Structure 1
Amino acid sequence: MSAFDPFEWMVRSSIRRSVRTGLRGVWVRGELPSGAAIIAPSHHSWWDGYALRELAWQLRQPFTVLMTERQLGNFPFLRSIGAIGTHELRPAVQALKSGHWLVVFPEGRIEPLGRLRQVEGGAAWLSKMSGAPIIPVALRVVLRGQPKPEAYLRFGRAAIGPELPNTLQHELDLLDAELSQQDPEQPLAGYLRLTGQSSLHDERIDLPTRLLARLTR
Structure 2
Amino acid sequence: MPHAACNRASAHYTRNPRHEEARVSGSTKFATALSRAVVTPLARMLWRPRIVGRRNVPKHGPVILASNHRSFIDSPAITLMAPRKVSFLAKQEYFTGTGVKGALSRAFFGGIGAIGVERGAGAAAQHALDLGLERLEAGEAFAIYPEGTRSLDGRLYKGRTGVAWLALTSGAPVVPVALTGTEDVQPVGSRIPRLAKVTIEFGEPLDLSSFGEASSGRARRHATDAVMAAIQQLSGQEPAGTYNNPPATIVERVKQAFRRDDPTAEVEPD
Deviates further, 22-31 or 164-173: 22-31
Matching of residue 65 in structure 1 with residue 88 in structure 2: yes
Match of 1:117 among 146, 157, 164: 157
State the distance in 2 between where 1:62 and 1:32 align: 15
Number of the residue aligned with 2:179 = 139
State the distance in 2 between where 1:165 and 1:101 align: 19
Aligned runs of 1:178-189 on 2, under 5 Å?
none
For residues 132-158 of structure 1, give each alpha carbon's deviation from its aligned partner in whole angstroms, at most 9, with x where no partner exists: 0122111112669xx931121222233
> Is the 8 Å Cα contact of residues 86 and 113 (structure 2) preserved in structure 1?
yes
State the distance in 2 between where 1:33 and 1:8 align: 19
Aligned runs of 1:15-30 on 2, under 5 Å?
15-29=39-53
Q: Which has the higher strand share?
A: 1
Number of the residue aligned with 1:165 = 228
Change (3 A) 1:155 1:113: farther
State the distance in 2 between where 1:17 and 1:156 align: 24
Q: CA deviation at 1:82?
A: 1.9
State the distance in 2 between where 1:8 and 1:155 align: 22
> Is the 8 Å Cα contact of residues 63 and 136 (structure 2) preserved in structure 1?
yes
1:167 maps to a residue whose letter is A
2:52 maps to a residue whose letter is V
For residues 58-78 of structure 1, give each alpha carbon's deviation from its aligned partner in whole angstroms, at most 9, with x where no partner exists: x3x232112244566675441
> Is the 8 Å Cα contact of residues 16 and 54 (structure 1) preserved in structure 2?
yes
Number of the residue aligned with 1:82 = 113
Number of the residue aligned with 1:195 = none
1:155 maps to a residue whose letter is F
Change (3 A) 1:141 1:73: farther
State the distance in 2 between where 1:81 and 1:133 align: 22
Change (3 A) 1:115 1:73: farther
2:197 maps to a residue whose letter is E
Change (3 A) 1:4 1:28: same
Number of the residue aligned with 2:15 = none
Query: What's the TM-score, normalizing by structure 2?
Result: 0.53
Q: Which has the higher helix share?
A: 2
* Local SS of the residue matching 1:45: coil
Number of the residue aligned with 2:64 = 38
Q: CA deviation at 1:24?
A: 2.2
* Local SS of the residue matching 1:138: strand
State the distance in 2 between where 1:4 and 1:71 align: 20
Aligned length, in residue pairs: 169
Number of the residue aligned with 1:53 = 79
State the distance in 2 between where 1:33 and 1:20 align: 19
Number of the residue aligned with 2:240 = none
Deviates further, 113-122 or 15-24: 15-24
Q: CA deviation at 1:19?
A: 0.8
Number of the residue aligned with 2:136 = 96
Q: CA RMSD in A?
A: 3.1
* Local SS of the residue matching 2:229: helix
> Is the 8 Å Cα contact of residues 137 and 155 (structure 1) preserved in structure 2?
yes
For residues 100-139 of structure 1, give each alpha carbon's deviation from its aligned partner in whole angstroms, at most 9, with x where no partner exists: 1110011222213532123111111111211101221111
Gaps of 5+ in 1: 175-217
Gaps of 5+ in 2: 1-20, 98-104, 118-124, 186-193, 209-222, 238-270
Matching of residue 153 in structure 1 with residue 200 in structure 2: yes
* Local SS of the residue matching 2:72: coil
For residues 25-45 of structure 1, give each alpha carbon's deviation from its aligned partner in whole angstroms, at most 9, with x where no partner exists: 342236422132110011112
